[in-house]
Amino acid sequence: MLFRSSLNVLVTGVGSPAALGVIRSLRRVPDCRFHITGVDVNPNAIGAVWCDDFCVVPRPDEPAFPEIITKLCRAHSIDVILSLVTKELEVLAALQPTLACFGTHLALSTRESLRAANHKGALLHLLRQRGVEVPEFSTVKSASELQEAVNVLSHGGKPVCCKPIYGDGSRGFHIIATRPDEARRLFEEKPDSTYISKSELLRIAQEANRIPELIVMEYLPGDEYSVDALAKHGETIVAIPRLREQIVSGITTKGVIVNHRDVTAYVKHVVAALGLHGNVGVQVRRNAEGNVRILEVNPRLQGTTVHCTAAGVNLPWLGVKLALLESISEEELQVHYGTRMMRHWSEVFFADEGKPYTL
């Protein structure tokens, strides 16, 4: 396919934390002009202000979603879709043959790979079967199973954590401490502390009518990394570790690009084991012995991918090129390690009528 000087890109989930960074990354490409159509389920999605066009779409689990996306791609002559929404990935993967018929492309993993990556229990089972070292874990569906898993994994006073099988960011994540420092929690921490006592967790679970399927696993106390990667059918083209120095609501607010080769090697192993394709995020953390272990896989662009753009590797643009079967040069893969990032607050305003705006 010949290189084109202008492209029409559909970015989904433009109300997400990743949206601004992805759109800014595309706008920085010197040799290509982008017409960006943004979509979101929220009519006041903050990312609408940075798009050329904006449309409200149904939730991915609603029957109308595939048809609406297909119509949008036809109407706007979309060349590539960049998805920022985990829950829509399998739907888009199923739509790929239809979209390709009129020239819309995606660099996206297979439905089987997506299903394994998005289910945290299935992910750990599959990786372990394929030779990837994973944390100790158990999946539970009831209060009694939760109690048994916590008892087994916390043997010897080890801290464990739990999280819903399906969940984005830090939603539902808790560290289960057998004897938490309750005075420090009460007087020094904010009310949204992730720590919870074993007794409190089990009491809440037993009093609930039902609990979501959870994964209970050993807590990894070491450094946490979010690794942004580009993959081609299980082969890693580039993987860039970001050391997460400060995290707010699951999003990195302070971090640095690092050249930690054991992290990169581990992520390559994960990508190969799952056969991932396209833009991929892998979150890992070091255990008590300093070894790298998986936390989760996001088979899409992540919330802080823009940090890699600042470090010289424009992953949203490379994802577009991969979808269009364009070649990627070695120059485009050169990482400026040591690049630091700090986030700050900014605002978007919504008038009673008209498009949103900034000051």
Give mean pLDDT, residues 47-70. 96
Give mean pLDDT, residues 71-89. 97
pLDDT value at residue 358: 87
Query: pLDDT band for position 110 (50/70/90)?
Result: very high
The answer to whether 94 touches 111, Cβ cutoff 8 Å, is yes
Q: Left (φ > 0), alpha (ψ -120 to 50) or beta: where does 292 sit?
A: beta
pLDDT value at residue 185: 62
Query: pLDDT band for position 178 (50/70/90)?
Result: low
Residue 179 clears pLDDT 60, i.e. is over it: no
Query: pLDDT band for position 304 (50/70/90)?
Result: very high
Give mean pLDDT, residues 279-292. 97
Percent of the chain whose predicted confidence (pLDDT) is above 90: 75
pLDDT value at residue 202: 85
pLDDT per residue as tens digits for the range 156-173: 778 899 999 887 666 788
Least confident piece of the model among 66-80, 179-193, 197-211, 279-293: 179-193
Residue 77 clears pLDDT 60, i.e. is over it: yes
Among candidates 205, 236, 344, 221, which has minimal Cα distance to 288?
221
The answer to whether 253 touches 280, Cβ cutoff 8 Å, is no
pLDDT value at residue 196: 81
Give mean pLDDT, residues 98-103. 96
Question: What domains does the chain contain, in order, with CATH numbers?
Answer: 6-107 (3.40.50.20), 113-120+221-342 (3.30.470.20), 136-218 (3.30.1490.20)
Give mean pLDDT, residues 25-45. 96
What is the spatial distance between Cα 125 and Cα 161, in angstroms, rounded to a whole number? 17
Three-state secondary structure call for residue 221: coil
Tokens matching residue 353: 């009528």
Global confidence as pTM? 0.91
Q: What is the largest CA-CA distance in the chain?
A: 64
pLDDT value at residue 2: 44
Higher local confidence (pLDDT), 252 or 274 = 274
- Residue 11 has φ and ψ, to the nearest 5°, of -110, 120
Query: pLDDT band for position 208 (50/70/90)?
Result: confident
pLDDT per residue as tens digits for the range 233-249: 999 999 999 999 998 87
What mean pLDDT, rounded, does the chain reach?
92
Q: Percent helix, strand, coil in the chain (nearest 5)? A: 35, 25, 40
Element (H, E) at 39: strand 33-40
Higher local confidence (pLDDT), 287 or 195 = 287
pLDDT value at residue 348: 86
Tokens matching residue 158: 């080890």
pLDDT value at residue 1: 41
Q: Which residue in this structure is represented by tokens 């707010």?
A: 248
